[in-house]
Amino acid sequence: MVSGDGMKVVVANPPWPGKGYGARSNVRWPHRRGDKKLPYPIYLAYAVALLKRSSFDAKGVDAVFNEWDIGRFVREMQSMKPGAVLLEVSTPSIDCDLETAKRLKEILPGTMLVFCGPHATYFSEEIIREHAFVDAVIRGEFEFAFKEICEALREKRSFSGIKGITYRDNAGGVKRAEDRPLLEDLDKLPWPDREDFPIGRYQQAFYCGRKTALMVSSRGCPFQCTYCLWPSTLTHRRYRIRDQKKVVDEIKFLIKKEGIDEVFFDDDEFIINKKKVLDFCREMIRRGIRIKWHCMGRVDIVDGELLGMMKEAGCYQIFYGFESGSEKILKSLKKGITKAQIRRAVGLTKKAGIVCGGSFILGTPEESWETLKETTGFAKSLGSDWVQFALCSPFPGTPMYEEAKRSGLLEASSWSDFDGSKGPIVRTKYLSRKDLEGVQRKAYLSYYTAPAVIWANLRSVRSFRQAKRIARGMRSVISRLLYYDK
Q: Dump pLDDT digits (tens) for 20-61.
A: 999 999 999 999 999 999 999 999 999 999 999 999 999 999
459 pLDDT more than 80: no
pLDDT in tens, 2-21: 434 458 999 999 999 999 99
Positions of CATH 3.40.50.2300 in the chain: 8-176
- For residues 318-324, give the mean pLDDT: 97
For domain 8-176, the CATH superfamily is Response regulator (3.40.50.2300)
Phi, psi of 153 (to 5 degrees): -65, -45
H/E segment holding residue 244:
helix 244-258
pLDDT in tens, 341-391: 999 999 999 999 999 999 999 999 999 999 999 999 999 999 999 999 999
Residues 372, 377, 383, 385: is their CA dihedral positive or negative?
positive
Q: What is the pLDDT of residue 55?
A: 94
Reading phi first (left if > 0) and then psi (alpha if -120 to 50, else beta), residue 385 is in alpha
pLDDT in tens, 79-103: 999 999 999 999 999 999 999 999 9
In contact, 63 and 73? CB cutoff 8 Å: yes
460 pLDDT more than 80: no
Q: Please provide the size of the chain in residues.
A: 486
Let me know how many helices (H) and strands (E) the chain has, helices first. Answer: 19, 17
Q: What is the pLDDT of residue 168?
A: 93
1 pLDDT more than 50: no
Nearest to 305 by CA among 274, 330, 334, 261: 274
Positions of CATH 3.20.20.70 in the chain: 203-483
- For residues 253-260, give the mean pLDDT: 98
3-state secondary structure (DSSP) of residue 216: coil
Percent of the chain with pLDDT over 70: 92
Nearest to 356 by CA among 391, 387, 389, 324: 387
- For residues 393-409, give the mean pLDDT: 97
CATH code assigned to 203-483: 3.20.20.70
pLDDT in tens, 165-218: 999 988 889 999 999 999 999 999 999 999 999 999 999 988 999 999 999 999
- For residues 63-88, give the mean pLDDT: 98
CA-to-CA distance for 486 and 475, rounded, in angstroms? 19
Report the mean per-residue pLDDT for the chain: 93
Q: pLDDT band at 463, cuts 50/70/90?
A: low
CA-to-CA distance for 414 and 348, rounded, in angstroms? 44
Q: Report the range of poorest mean pLDDT among 279-293, 338-352, 419-433, 450-464.
A: 450-464
Partners of 361 in the beta sheet?
A: 390
151 pLDDT more than 70: yes
Q: Report the range of poorest mean pLDDT among 11-15, 121-125, 149-153, 448-452.
A: 448-452
334 pLDDT more than 50: yes
290 pLDDT more than 70: yes
CA-to-CA distance for 451 and 429, rounded, in angstroms? 33
